[in-house]
Structure formats: C-alpha cells, structure tokens
Amino acid sequence: MTLGTPQPRIDGPVKVSGAAAYASDVKIPNLAFGVLLCSTIVKGRIAAIDTSAASAQPGVLEIITHQTCPPLLRPTKPIPSQGQSLVPLQGPDICYYGQHVGVVVAESFEAACAAADLVKITYTPANAPTQFAMTKSAKAAGGARDLVWGDRTVSPTKAAFTVDQQYSTPYQHHNPIEPPATTAIWNGDTLTLHDSTQWLAGVRMLVAALLGIAPANIRVISPFVGGSFGAKRVVWPHVYLAALAAKTVGRPVRLAVTRTQMYTTAGYRPQTVQRITLGARRDGTLQSLQHTATTTTSEFDNFIEPAGAKTGMMYACPNGRSSRTLAKVDLGTPTTMRAPGESTGFFALECAMDELAYAVKLDPLKLRLLNYAVVDPTTKLPWSSKSLKECYAKGAAQFGWAKRKATPGSMRDGPLLIGMGMASAAYPANRSPASASVSLFADGHAVVQSATHEMGGGTYTAMAAIAANALGIDIRQVQAQLGDSTLPETTVSGGSRTINSVGPAVEAAALQVIDRLVALAIADPASPLYQAEAGQVVAAGASLRLKSKPSCADPIAKILSRHNLPSVQMSASTAPSAGASKYSQYAFGAHFAEVRVDPDLGEVRVARYVGAFAAGQIINALTARSQLVGGIVGGIGMALLEESVVDPNIGTFITRNLADYRVPVHADIPPIEVILVPEQDSVTSPLGTKGVGELGIVGAAAAIANAVFHATGKRLRDLPITPEKLLAPDASQTRATRRRRSARG
Ligand code: MOS
C-alpha cells in the first residue's frame, strides 16, 4: 500500500446501501421524539404559553418551555465548543427569530409535530428597532486586532496605480444534506449522545458543563456525518436540549432539526463588506495593500468571520494592513463556514488583483507571478513548502490560458460571450494534537481506532491507508473505527486539519506496532531475522524483511503465533513539532474558470474549470480530488447562486429550504479538472501532508467573477452574481460599490 494511490472509499458500500447509521438513524428501543418550538418574533418576551390543546393530543409525553425547564449551568469561562452563548429556555426573553422556546416530546415525530402546531405562544414584542443587514447605522462591536506589516505610512492611494474597491458577500447557509440531529440516551447518570458533529470532544465538553455532569459520564457517538461545512463544528442548543428532554421523559429522545429550522439553529456565514486598496508601481509591482472587512454578528456574541486575515501572506507586498470590525444584527450567532475568512477574503483580494491587472495592462497570471511571495511578507518566515508556481504553470497549460484574448468582451461563441478568469488559492496547513491506536492481529488484519470524524471527506479510507502503509499490509486488511468518544481523543475536524493531525498519530501507532514485532523477531532464535539490527528490518508484504535482502522474511502472523500473542496493540499521541512555528505553513493552488454569458438574459454558465493544487503529500488521490472538486462546486455556488435572504418585515431568512436557497446541482457543474501537483512538506506533519478540505473553495468565486468581467466588461463585486445584477444598467456599480462613491479603480 503506497500513500497517494487512488483508493475507493472503504465505507462506500455501507453508505450507498443505506447501512451506515447516521445520528437520526440509530435504532433505539423505547425511543421518543422531540421537536423544537422556535420563536416567531425577533425581540421581546414570551407573555404566555398555552399548552393545553397540545398536551391533550395522543402520544404527547412532555412540553418543555422556559416555565418548566430545569436551570442549566452558566459556565464561568467561555467554552470553545459553544456555538452561541445564549442558552434557550432559561427565561422569557427573545433575542432573535427562531430562538428555541420549547421542545415537544411525543411517541412519534408526527405526533410531536402535530402537538407543536397547537402550542399557543403569546409574545410581547419589544418596542425597539431591529436590524438585519449591514448598514452605516449598524452598531460596531469590537474587532480582531489589526495586522500590520512593513511601513504603515506607505499609502496605496499615492502609488502610480491604485485599486480601491468594495466587495461584499451575503449571508450563506451550510445546508449539509444531513441536517443536525441528536439522539440522547440516559442510563442512570451516564449519557450517550448519537450526534452529527465535527467535534466529539467538543460536544462532551459543552454538554458536561451545562448539565453539570462529569465529561467521563458522557459518550458521544458519530461514526458518519452527512456533510457539515462548519455547521456542526461547534455545539448548538438542540444538542443539550435533546439530553435534557431525554432526562425529563425518562426515555431516549431523538431531536432531528428540520431543514427549515436549520436556517436558524446551527449558524450561518455572516455578511461581509470588504474594502481593498492596492497600490502598485507602473509595472504592477505591489507597494502597499489595505484590506478592511466588516462582518455581521449577533447581538449577544462576537463571532468574527476573519475575512482578510490571510491577505498579507499572499503576495510580495512590502507594506500593508488588514483589520476587521463587527456589525451587530438581530439574528442568531453566525459561525464558521467553508474556509471562513479565506473564501470571503480571497474573493475580494483576487478580484482586486484582477482589477489591478487590467489597470496596469498585464496578464492576470503574469501579475501574480510578478508579485510572487518567496517568504511570508507578514512574518518574514520561510514557507514550509510552496509549489504555487507549479500550480500556475500546470493549471494554465491544462486550461489553455495562453489562448485567452486580453480585451474583455472579445471572445465569443455564437451569441454567447466567453470569459476566462483565474485566481490564486491558499489555505493554512493547520495541525493539532491527536491520538490513535493500531492493533495488528495474527490473521493479518489490523484495526485503527481514533475519535476522529468522517463527514464525507474520506477519513476512514485515509486512516486505513496510512496504517496499511506503515504496517506493510494491504488496505483491505485494515478496519478503521472512528467517531466514538471512547476511542483515543483527537481534535475538531475543522480548519482542514484532520489528515495533518490524526494521520501522524495513526502512523506513529502503526510504526510502534512494527517496532514491537521487530524487537520480538530479532531476539527470537526461531526467526530468520534473529540478531538482525532493528534499523535494518522493514515491514512489507505482511512480513518483516531485511532491507538488504527482502527475501529474508518473517511473516507477521508467525511472529505473533510463536509468542502466543493474539495481537499487538499500540497507542500514540502526536502534536506539531516545536520547530514548525519557524515556518509559514500553507497549501496553495490556482483556479482557471471559463464562463459563457448570455448578454440578453444575463445568465452565467461555468463551461470549463481547471484547478491545480499543491497540498503536500496526498494520502488518497481519489478522495483528495473529490474534496477539491467539492470546494470548487462550493465556489461556483458562492459565485453565482448562494444567498440567504432576510425579510426585515418578518425578521428572519426567507430562503429556508433547498428550493429557495440555491445550491449548484449537477446541471450547473461543468467538467472540473483537478491537478494534484506533487509536493512534500517536511514541517507540518511527518506524513508530508497539508490538507485539502477547504483549499478548493478559496479563490474559486473570484476566478468566476473575473471570468464574468472578461466576458462582459462588467465588474460585479457583490456576490452572488445574478442575472438581474448583470443586466442592471449600472452593473459595474453594484450595491456594494455605490455606497462608496469615491471608489476608483
Ligand atoms: Mo470548517 S468551516 O473549518 O469546520
């Protein structure tokens, strides 16, 4: 088993046959069903709750409201896995539309829904102004610290060429195909939660703190997650309300959030309004750069979408500043979504670079090569590895970038305008401490165990591949057990860190198994390897072998049986190396998009797409490609379709199903070619990986927006790029830019 070779998913058969049990699929005897009641006002108080008609319905077990809910604990310090600080059902006050105001528990989901419709809640709305979008009057809250590098007095507006523009992105929702769901089972004082989560330990941590039970008394099980994109990274109130409901009725309770409730239950991406000011010399060399972002958050939490936080690392611009501020709106708390900060920030940066390319009359790819950063300009640290030039070269060659005509609107396909756009991508190579164990059995099979997560990315297959490679056995001989908090603890599966964090722990445990077997063999007169030097023995083909003479081999099964061992099991905990902080660690990539635009209808179709990415060692070329294609599909959605619309008269998102919230479907997706540029990274992880979970979406929306400009000459700076915006008479002056009349580009 060699790392990097394409491997079909080992969990594919259970998934496609429906045998894989997700959080709301597990069969539990005596199960009751909870349904959330959600507020239908934005701000105010609950005046009265009448549950009489609902309680009289057949099958209703309990209706929990703030009048009956036991108090939940208030943790003295913030808990990192808490999605929102507002704990519902603790009083009559309402802070946003959709705030949970009750849980109806019944014998069936249908009975719970029917009863929920009969609960009469009377509200006293607050006589206070509400705000749902970023406006000049949005109340500013604290922001993240500014990032300043080089000379802050060098103003981009004094340069020979300046691009000074505003870019904006709308509210967006994750919309995983599996909405959040929790099944809670109490057994005396111990609690088992089947939960759809990216962070088993985070669920345990928060539920323990709010319910006042020992973390050791909580087991969280999550073997499969049906997509997440950041929505299940932190823990939302329905999780602990499910546990509370199960305690109240003395039966297991399943609480599955509905698609519509998902829009107000598990976070969303906040709005961003970003201003980028680039200053360049006549030839296009960047001299200074400013990137400021304002993003929305809830009244009660300061969630920062870190748009622009990574702007300074991208190009060799000696001077710059980036800063972020928050604007408070009357919605629930937003959260991380699909490369939070990078996907929004690179939309602005990579469009601004495209605008600069036209201003200085340089090919957009040449402009990026001219400003190629050989060290991280913000920290002056060297890169752990960077093969972006290869990404540009291979992507451009595959795409046929050289055939692009420079003038916007100059390429046609019959009545349709052709546009070609490109953008750079970068995503940090994150790594956290993690643990795993590996067992090798006498019959030749192995078991990998780790409390990490499979949310569609291919974690089962990747961990099995890493173990098989280290043990010198076939991947089909490896079973992976994941998604259970009783297994060795790992980290949140967020920030594209799973392979960098858990991969090394699996490899270390597997290598320890081999070390143990080598020690047994070289001390055993019955072994052909007796008295060999440990360093001269390697594992290959289910045997230990002499490096210098591979035919001198001792089968692993024989070593175990000679020592009467049914198996050898080893556990390992790994963490980033101390020296890693001396490097700037990123995966990089380049996007090339071709669009067709109908000038009469304003319809944009992505016709062709090439992405070239360098993310260190690839563990499984098949699933890595799928991850990157998924990121690009997310980028196409971000560019052309996705937008959560708030109706201020109602006070919530009115796009709250998959008909109104538009995500790309197969017919929207062109052939996507992904090039995996070979690379090794010796800093981030001993496996050489950097992660591919979010890299594919970073820059994708900009490549498409740049292609739309190339096709039409219209610069749309406010996502999504819709036909009505493209056909607007002032299409280059979108909603975002109109507010800043002084903008020039
Ligand atoms: Mo991911 S959006 O970092 O959970």
Q: Which residue is associated with the tokens 């990078």?
A: 342
d(CA 92, CA 102): 11
Residues having CB within 6 Å of any atom of ligand 1: 198, 229-230, 233, 336-338, 340, 494-495
Measured from the CA of 495, which atom of ligand 1 is nearest? 3
d(CA 726, CA 742): 22
Confidence category of residue 139, pLDDT binned at 50, 70, 90: low
Confidence category of residue 623, pLDDT binned at 50, 70, 90: very high
Give, in degrees to the nearest 5, the angle at Cα 369 between 377 and 373. Answer: 15
The token pair at 715 is 């610069």
pLDDT digits (tens, 9 = 90+) for 52-70: 999 999 999 999 999 999 9
Confidence category of residue 739, pLDDT binned at 50, 70, 90: very low
d(CA 311, CA 343): 11
Question: Is 437 a residue whose pLDDT tops 90?
Answer: yes
Confidence category of residue 741, pLDDT binned at 50, 70, 90: very low
Crossing angle of helices 342-360 and 621-640, in 10° steps, is 70
Question: Is 1 a residue whose pLDDT tops 90?
Answer: no
Asked if 296 and 327 touch (Cβ cutoff 8 Å), the reply is yes
What is the pLDDT at residue 145?
77
Sign of CA dihedral 451, 455, 456, 457: negative
DSSP string, 665-727: -GGG---EEEEE-----TTT-TT-B---TTGGGTTHHHHHHHHHHHHHS----BSS--HHHHH
Crossing angle of helices 237-249 and 200-211, in 10° steps, is 60
What is the pLDDT at residue 111?
98
pLDDT digits (tens, 9 = 90+) for 542-572: 999 999 999 999 999 999 999 999 999 999 9
Q: What is the mean pLDDT of residues 618-647?
A: 98
CA of 494 to the centre of ligand 1 (A): 4
What is the pLDDT at residue 136?
66
d(CA 23, CA 232): 12
Taking the CA atoms of residue 557, residue 558, residue 564 and residue 567 in that order, the dihedral angle to the nearest 10 degrees is -20
Measured from the CA of 233, which atom of ligand 1 is nearest? 4
What is the Rg, in whole angstroms, of the alpha carbon atoms belonging to the chain?
27
Confidence category of residue 729, pLDDT binned at 50, 70, 90: confident
d(CA 588, CA 387): 7
DSSP count for the chain of H helices, then E strands: 16, 30
Measured from the CA of 338, which atom of ligand 1 is nearest? 2
CA of 286 to the centre of ligand 1 (A): 31
Specify the 3-state DSSP secondary structure of 605: strand
Active site residues: 694
Asked if 1 and 465 touch (Cβ cutoff 8 Å), the reply is yes
Question: Is 744 a residue whose pLDDT tops 50?
Answer: no
Strand residue runs (E) in 501-579? 537-540, 543-546, 553-555, 567-574
The type of residue at 130 is T
CA of 227 to the centre of ligand 1 (A): 11
HEC secondary structure over 266-280: CCCECCEEEEEEEEE
DSSP string, 381-446: PBBS---HHHHHHHHHHHHTGGG--SSTT--EETTEEEEEEEEEEEEE-----EEEEEEEETTS-E
Q: What is the mean pLDDT of residues 586-591?
A: 98
Residue among 305, 336, 453, 499 to mutate when testing ligand 1 (max atoms within 8 A of CB): 336
What is the pLDDT at residue 580?
96
Measured from the CA of 340, which atom of ligand 1 is nearest? 2
Measured from the CA of 229, which atom of ligand 1 is nearest? 2
Length of the chain: 745
d(CA 400, CA 254): 53
pLDDT digits (tens, 9 = 90+) for 635-649: 999 999 999 999 999
pLDDT digits (tens, 9 = 90+) for 319-337: 999 999 999 999 999 999 9
pLDDT digits (tens, 9 = 90+) for 151-200: 988 999 999 999 999 999 999 999 999 999 999 999 999 999 999 999 99
% of the chain at pLDDT higher than 90? 95
Question: Is 497 a residue whose pLDDT tops 80?
Answer: yes
Question: Is 743 a residue whose pLDDT tops 50?
Answer: no
Question: Is 738 a residue whose pLDDT tops 60?
Answer: no
Confidence category of residue 2, pLDDT binned at 50, 70, 90: confident
74-77 contacts, C-beta under 8 A, 24 or more apart: 75/209, 75/210
The type of residue at 629 is V
d(CA 77, CA 697): 34
What is the pLDDT at residue 742?
36
Residue among 233, 638, 692 to mutate when testing ligand 1 (max atoms within 8 A of CB): 233
Which residue from 657, 602, 613, 620 is spatially nearest to 635, judged by alpha carbons? Answer: 613
Q: What is the mean pLDDT of the chain?
A: 95
Bridge-based pairing of strands 147-149 and 537-540 is: unpaired
Q: Which residue is associated with the tokens 């991947």?
A: 475
CA of 147 to the centre of ligand 1 (A): 22
Which residue from 307, 387, 380 is spatially nearest to 584, judged by alpha carbons? Answer: 380
Find residue 190's DSSP bridge partners: 187
72-76, 131-135, 539-543, 664-668: range with lowest mean pLDDT:
131-135
CA of 337 to the centre of ligand 1 (A): 6
CA of 734 to the centre of ligand 1 (A): 30
pTM for the predicted model, two decimal places: 0.96
Q: What is the mean pLDDT of residues 711-729?
A: 96
Measured from the CA of 339, which atom of ligand 1 is nearest? 2
Find residue 296's DSSP bridge partners: 327
CA of 744 to the centre of ligand 1 (A): 35
d(CA 109, CA 132): 33
Which residue from 474, 418, 408, 419 is spatially nearest to 446, judged by alpha carbons? Answer: 474
User: Which DSSP letter does residue 144 get?
Assistant: P
CA of 495 to the centre of ligand 1 (A): 5
d(CA 219, CA 644): 35
Asked if 299 and 333 touch (Cβ cutoff 8 Å), the reply is no
What is the pLDDT at residue 547?
96
pLDDT digits (tens, 9 = 90+) for 281-296: 999 999 999 999 999 9
Question: Is 494 a residue whose pLDDT tops 60?
Answer: yes
Measured from the CA of 336, which atom of ligand 1 is nearest? 2
Measured from the CA of 492, which atom of ligand 1 is nearest? 4
What is the pLDDT at residue 383?
98
Confidence category of residue 733, pLDDT binned at 50, 70, 90: very low
CA of 197 to the centre of ligand 1 (A): 12
- Give the number of other Cβ atoms within 10 Å of residue 557's Cβ: 15
What is the pLDDT at residue 142?
65
Tell me what percent of the chain is helix, strand and coil, each rounded to the nearest 5: 25, 30, 45
CA of 590 to the centre of ligand 1 (A): 21
% of the chain at pLDDT higher than 70? 97
CA of 493 to the centre of ligand 1 (A): 8
Helix (H) or strand (E) holding 562: helix 556-562
d(CA 307, CA 303): 12
Q: What is the mean pLDDT of residues 231-240?
A: 98
